Amino acid sequence: MRITAVKAMELRDSAGQSLVRVETDAGLFGIGEAGAAGPAARANLQWLEPVLIGTDPLHIDRLYQQMMGLQHTYQAHVPTVSGVDIALWDLAGKILDRPVCDLLTGRYRDRVEIYYGGAPSAMTDRAVVDDWVAELRSHPHGYRTAKVGFTGLLDSTRLSRPFVGGAPSQTLKVSDMRVVQAGFETLRDVMGWDLDFIVHCHNEFDVPTAIGLCQAVEEARPIWIEDPLQVWFNDGYKALRSASRVPICTGEKIEGYRDFLPFIVEGGIDVLHPDLCWCGGISGGRKIAELADHYGLPVALHNCGSLVHNMANVHFGASVRNFSMSETRIYARPYIAAMGGLDGFDVVDGMLAVPAGPGLGFNLVPEILRAELKEGEPFWD
């Protein structure tokens, strides 16, 4: 069996990600998801074709190393490599009639914890928080953890510059921190101690602000504070970690296992948070997790993607010893279950069952993909 084509296309409301398909001369194909929009993924697939076309699709590690090692004319585009790698693992499972996690290590667990993302519209309003927590508790998936943002608490007119999510080196004052503290203390009071939460940032803040935020939320006991600093300066994370009693988590925007290296070996973070569609796919994620395991660090997964991304995370979570939990958006888009022909998801107490079928465990429904195709995108063309 040989690879004959690699293709990509983007669905609507896809968080800027695209589906990737690796085809073979035997008619079998694998599906992955890349952390890049359709046009960008297709452009970068051109540079991967000389590595992939005509090769045995089961030589996954060799293909991964060759794709990641590209330097001329362009360096590897890791989000596109990620989509191809996930597709190769899906294809391998279909060829061998085994689930991906069974091909990797066998299962450490049969269910993987997934967590909910959202926030009350007014975290300092007890009635609003009561309603939001009641809605979370009544969710049929039974989530036990929520990732909660707090930027709605900030009054942009009082800040030193307008707040923009994801813009680095934002500065908050003590008065701002007190508002954040009050919001999360209200949230904890309503949640009680049988539910957990994560403090959600977007790599916005400078080091003094990040330290202040950790102090502000400390008494509310979040599991961790996520992405408080930009990722280009690891020493900032080391300074924050040494000053904070709240665990520090980052990784969703770090591309490739080499870039994770200083965060792990130099003690910059407590929890690694790669995104399989950015960090090199399942192969790249496993290299990151294996190194983290040597340093006693847990791995959680970021996820804002489709069914493909979600199920890649589940197989990864089943096969990685030091795995913690995964973000999910399976409740956020109506087409996510439908694109795999699913009626729903087997989630009990926030734990999603690992699919038993070959590869990632489902087959995409062409009619749903066509209906949800982003305007101007080709259908596997």
Across the chain, which has 381 residues, the per-10-residue mean pLDDT values are 98 95 98 97 96 98 95 91 98 98 95 94 94 96 96 81 82 92 97 97 94 98 97 90 97 92 92 97 97 97 96 98 96 92 94 97 97 96 71
pLDDT at 159: 78
Contact indicator for 225, 248 with CB cutoff of 8 Å: yes
Please indicate, yes or no, if residue 134 is contained in any of the structural domains. Answer: yes
What predicted TM-score, i.e. pTM, was given to this entire model? 0.96
Q: Are residues 22 and 146 in the same domain?
A: no
255, 116: one domain: yes
* pLDDT for res 103: 96
Is 149 buried (19+), middle (13-18) or exposed (0-12) by CB count in 10 A? middle
Residues 146, 45, single domain; the answer is no
Do the domain assignments include residue 277?
yes
The answer to whether residue 73 sits within a structural domain is yes
Q: What domain range is 242 assigned to?
A: 103-357
Give a yes or no: residue 34 inside a domain: yes
Q: Provide the pLDDT for residue 153.
A: 87
pLDDT of residue 290: 96
Same domain, 275 and 164: yes
Phi and psi, residue 47, nearest 5°: -80, -15
- Same-domain status, 219 and 331: yes
Whether residue 276 is contained in a domain is answered as yes
Residue 379 counted as domain residue = no
Number of domains in the chain: 2
Asked if residue 378 belongs to a domain, the reply is no
- State residue 234's pLDDT score: 81
Contact call for residues 186 and 217 (beta carbons, < 8 A): no
Cβ(368)–Cβ(335) under 8 Å? yes
pLDDT at 163: 80
CA–CA separation, 322 vs 192, rounded Å?
A: 27
Residue 52 lies in a domain: yes
Q: Maximum Cα–Cα distance for the chain, whole Å?
A: 64
Structure tokens at 190: 């309503």
DSSP character at residue 151: G
Q: Are 20 and 82 in contact (CB under 8 A)?
A: no
Domain of 187, CATH number, reads 3.20.20.120
In a shared domain, residues 86 and 120: no
d(CA 130, CA 120) in angstroms, rounded, equals 9
pLDDT at 167: 85
The verdict on 234 and 304 lying in the same domain is yes
Whose tokens are 């296309």? That residue is 9
Residues 81 and 112 in one domain: no
On whether the CB atoms of residues 97 and 279 are closer than 8 A, the answer is: no
